[in-house]
Amino acid sequence: MAWTPDDIPDLTGRVAVVTGANGGLGLETAKELARHGALVIMGVRNLEKAERARTEILSTIPDALLEMYPLDLASLASVRSFAADVVAAHPRIDLLVNNAGVMATPHQETEDGFELQFGTNHLGHFALTALLMPALLCGTDARIVTVTSTARHFRTRLDRDDLNLDVNYTPWGAYGRAKKANMDFALELDRRLVDAGSTVRSFAAHPGLSNTDLQAQSVRSSGGASQRFFERAAAWIGMPPDRGARPQLRAATDPLARGGGIYTPKWVTAGAAVRRPITGRSNRAEDATLLWDLSEEATGIEFDVAGLVSRGCP
């Protein structure tokens, strides 16, 4: 039998953080976690849109436990503020879903001067995960799920000397680079957690071709022909958001899920949520080490997994 959200176990008493929880896959993820009893912290950039999302969830799940905090992943100051507020309110976190992102935008920079897609999709989540790790280490068999994409296969190479792609920028190449970074980060984080003897586990997940507002946002930001093509393709053959969210939900909640892997639709773009093997080319240690070092330098955050684990729950 294919896995569905009906297979999610009781999550009562567990605390979950979901970025981009005000729409698309993030909204569906927040909804199902709340339906099964978790207290869901919604990390959101647009508070007005988030309020509508919370109203939608409460209309079908009146007893849902929801909290909203402002979070702009394109601002390290916002990430730090969000993490501080969340940890102050919830010193124990059981689940982090790094879901939010932007796709195929024109060349832009974050508040901190990083290429927008890499800065938002990867660096923002790298910093957030590092800052929430002490609370995750206090959780019960905590999990971190980072959302990647099949676009990681047509990435632009990560170059220490051109981190902002000032020389060779393309919207899809930059998106692929950011999504490859999401993948490498998720797998490298799990390796470091395992080596440190932690029970916290890290997973990657990708939603296949899902019909969410991400494609429309991409069109609004760039208006490019390829962006319009993918918007139409998602509308015609893409999975609805509730099905697209299943890989990340399974990684987040299935008691049998194994860290250090990726959960995807069975047929790549569609189908039941399954665990896929990781090939050597997509899991090179040198790529992950370079990414980790550059991420620490860029964010100014030393993410010492072994040191954090050795100190344990604060």
| Tokens representing residue 79 in the block | 């990430």
What is the spatial distance between Cα 148 and Cα 166, in angstroms, rounded to a whole number?
A: 24
Helix locations, 64-115, DSSP H: 76-89
245 with 207: CB under 8 angstroms? yes
Q: Is residue 175 among the annotated active site residues? A: yes
**CB contact set of 141 (below 8 Å; sequence gap of 6+):** 94, 199, 200, 201
What is the 3-class SS of 226-246, one letter each residue? HHHHHHHHHHHHCECHHHHCH
Q: What's the Cα-to-Cα distance from 144 to each of 40, 182, 230, rounded to whole Å?
A: 14, 12, 28
What is the spatial distance between Cα 101 and Cα 93, in angstroms, rounded to a whole number?
A: 22
What is the spatial distance between Cα 101 and Cα 79, in angstroms, rounded to a whole number?
A: 14
Catalytic residue, candidates 69, 169, 175, 263: 175
As annotated, the active-site residues are 175
